[in-house]
Structure 1
């Protein structure tokens, strides 16, 4: 394990991002040059005075249409109050809103708090809809369970480069290790990672044009976060589930000017604590080779 991240200091990394608009060379119509913009992404500990609204916005994105089922304000408060566990990723200044966030909550420790109780009930119910999740997750989240499960919540703006993710995950591991040494309640038996996936689906728009085409089948499962596919390989159980508040118009509203719409789905990955560091190392290696 690498050097622990100081709880007083911030980690920083540089990521180069390209201008999405290519410019053609005056001398050649075949060659295209890309302008490169260097952006410094910085990792910060949570600050309750700054990060509440940014974290709440990203939680709303994470839970998609089901976000309305939860007390996101209460959940955001719990996250930002854990200012030595997890990170926000920002550009330019600590006072800005987070572009990405990552944290872990002890479900056993916070089980009596309404925002966590709501979330545990929801995850237990959603897990029942997937055979791979039903037994393992429901048992761990049951009211009588004495297991300490770490609920990992993370999301980022969709145009964020994947290179910012490994430092956040590695910092989390270091912070959990430091917290356990300090006798804080972060020694888990399992980690339950919540994320999202999607499938492309035929839109209900442009019916006239679609009548001239054969009906398309749903495409394979896609990942909003490419590292999730790698992390699933280390899970003792994983599966997807439908959002309960998803309406028939969702695919069209998220079509984003493409012929196919998307149907988001929730994703849960249950990872044994003994394999969590290996999972993080795997996604670190995966992103470094894929980018």
Structure 2
């Protein structure tokens, strides 16, 4: 495992956790959303997820610790259940993760041609804030080998002003402004992306769909803890200030009911819209609840969906979160996942 970076020396790290229950991935929290999830999620863990382009939705860093998770493997012929044990390691980003992280982010901006390689480089060069999740494997003498498997997930937050002259950030801003079709919302988004860019962190969180949800809260805890440490531990005032985020911008995806517009037009007081949106990543439901601004946009690259999703359309979702809502987000995320 990559050694702890300097910022961790003065902070107590959580110990290794064991005994995490058997888990499955999930899309959302309503009963219908969970039904959809189980119909299209992979029931088994496979190393091919690291090397092949994912057919399902790709989209986790406790602070340099391990998570021990059991996966169910079902043999349909013999009707027996085997238990596979997977140790997840949480590592500082590094150049060797380039190919795997690029795979995770391949559809981050729909199918728009843009400087994705440059974007991945920015994320991997920032080692003080950011995490790559991989299988943690030990050899016979107990040494950790983190080279044998590709990344399972990536999370980071980068300052939009610090990297404003990079082509990938310029193209990302252009994409978001073009994607927003509502005039008043576009004006507000432009303020965050340009005039207030120094206060904005682009929160990038992507992982494979079969990543166990128990890892999600510690992943975000680690990210926000690292951001707080960076404001104190970075070697220059300029770098420390670059992590003093007042806002976060998130780009993610959801499934939206094709009938939502018609339903809203005929809305009555007792209409229930809980199933009108299915959140691919569970935390996005909380982010949107706490967001000060959000909008959806149509995707040009539409992937095949299971029959259960015929009445839903995959869409992009952009959100702006006030940094003062982070503590509430962390509490809600832990409570919500504890109920699942």
TM-score > 0.5, shorter chain as reference: yes
1:287 has 2:337 as partner: yes
Tell me the TM-score normalized by structure 2.
Answer: 0.67
Task: Give the one of 172, 177, 186 matched to 2:243.
Answer: 186
1:15 has 2:69 as partner: yes
Q: Which digits, 9 at most, give the CA deviation of each residue in 1:66-124, with x for residues without a partner?
A: 3xx22110000000000121111111342121111101110011111111111112112
Cα 1:256/1:118, change in 2 over 3 Å? same
1:105 has 2:153 as partner: no
Distance 1:104 1:177 in 2: 12
Cα 1:107/1:146, change in 2 over 3 Å? closer
Which structure has the higher relative contact order (CA within 8 Å, separation 6+)? 2
Q: Equivalent residues in 2 for 1:146-161 (5 A)?
A: 147-161=198-212
Distance 2:68 2:184 in 1: 39
Contact 1:62–1:195 at 8 Å: present in 2 too?
yes
Name the residue aligned to 2:191: 139
Cα 1:259/1:236, change in 2 over 3 Å? closer
Structure 1 unaligned spans of 5+ = 26-32, 203-218
Task: Give the one of 146, 160, 163 matched to 2:214.
Answer: 163
Q: How far 1:261 sits from its partner (Å)?
A: 7.6
Distance 1:132 1:232 in 2: 18
1:81 has 2:125 as partner: yes
Q: Which digits, 9 at most, give the CA deviation of each residue in 1:13-54, with x for residues without a partner?
A: 1222222557888xxxxxxx7433232111111011x11111
Which stretch shows the higher mean deviation, 223-232 or 255-264?
A: 255-264
Cα 1:72/1:20, change in 2 over 3 Å? farther
Cα 1:279/1:234, change in 2 over 3 Å? same
Contact 1:234–1:275 at 8 Å: present in 2 too?
yes
Tell me the TM-score normalized by structure 1.
Answer: 0.77
Structure 2 unaligned spans of 5+ = 1-10, 15-60, 138-145, 260-274
Q: Equivalent residues in 2 for 1:22-61 (5 A)?
A: 34-48=81-95, 50-61=96-107
Which stretch shows the higher mean deviation, 55-64 or 128-137?
A: 128-137
Q: Secondary structure, in 3 states, of the residue corresponding to 1:60? A: coil
Q: CA RMSD in A?
A: 2.8
